[in-house]
Amino acid sequence: MEKRFYKLTGLLYLIVIICAGFSQGYIRGTIIIPGNALATATNILQNESLFRLGLSLDLIAFIIDAVISVLLYQMFKPFGKNLAMVSAALRLIAHPAIGSLNLLNHYMANLVLGGESFLSTFDQAQLESLSLLFMNAHQYGYLIAGGFFGLHLLLLSVLIYKSDTIPNIFGSFLLGSAIGYLLETFGNFNMPGYEDYTALIVGFAAALGEVSFTFYLLFKSKKQ
């Protein structure tokens, strides 16, 4: 595999991590106040440009993720074509498909607060509640996408173990990331109340697995 191929994959992955991390971790993490419709609506209206930027950054990340899916398939198909194809398909479903469609909830949370005439039958408190409802729906959509993404990372870790080009340690890191995503998705749906703990787990696991793999791809492109 050419050095430029690894570098391109790593560079695109780094852009995705930065865009999605800033959008989910900072923008929604600071603007959305769980369970508080008034505070959330106030934050959205006072930071509307930043809130819209979060949607755009996510969309950019999801578009790039579609490209990464193809690049990873090309990278790992020599070590299991069918497995690489399923892994790529799961990544395509997770973010380019589910994640992108789920951005409608992010958009609607802002739209209902914008004073559109067709919403005049609702009072302000109802609109604020609707806005928070859309953001809650966005969060659950994010979790559904995370289930598919976790399975993608699980298969990706298997492909790394089967390959002779990437050290197994990165497969182990990504296996931990896969478990984190799956734990967050199925844990939050089936055992509500532990969302802070699962978010902490997936944040650490994803950082260790995906970030290390990203920088390995960039480093590998310089070494080989």
> Which residue's entry shows tokens 């995503």?
181
Rounded CA-CA distance 84/158 in Å is 10
Q: Which pLDDT does position 204 carry in this prediction? A: 87
Higher pLDDT pick, 153 / 6: 153
User: Residue 10 sits in which domain range?
Assistant: 3-223
Rounded CA-CA distance 104/100 in Å is 8
Q: What b/e readout covers 58-87, taking b as 16+ CB neighbours within 10 angstroms?
A: bbbbbebbeebbebbbebbbebbeebbeeb
pLDDT per residue as tens digits for the range 108-164? 999 999 877 788 888 999 999 999 999 999 999 999 999 999 999 999 999 999 998
pLDDT per residue as tens digits for the range 85-122? 999 999 999 999 999 999 999 999 999 998 777 888 88
Rounded CA-CA distance 159/154 in Å is 9
Q: Which pLDDT does position 1 carry in this prediction? A: 53
> How many domains are contained in the chain?
1
Rounded CA-CA distance 128/146 in Å is 27
Q: Which pLDDT does position 201 carry in this prediction? A: 87
Q: For residue 194, give the DSSP letter.
A: -
* Predicted confidence (pLDDT) at residue 74 exceeds the cutoff of 60: yes
Residue 55: other Cβ atoms inside 10 A: 19
Q: Which pLDDT does position 135 carry in this prediction? A: 97
* Predicted confidence (pLDDT) at residue 68 exceeds the cutoff of 60: yes
Q: Which pLDDT does position 222 carry in this prediction? A: 52
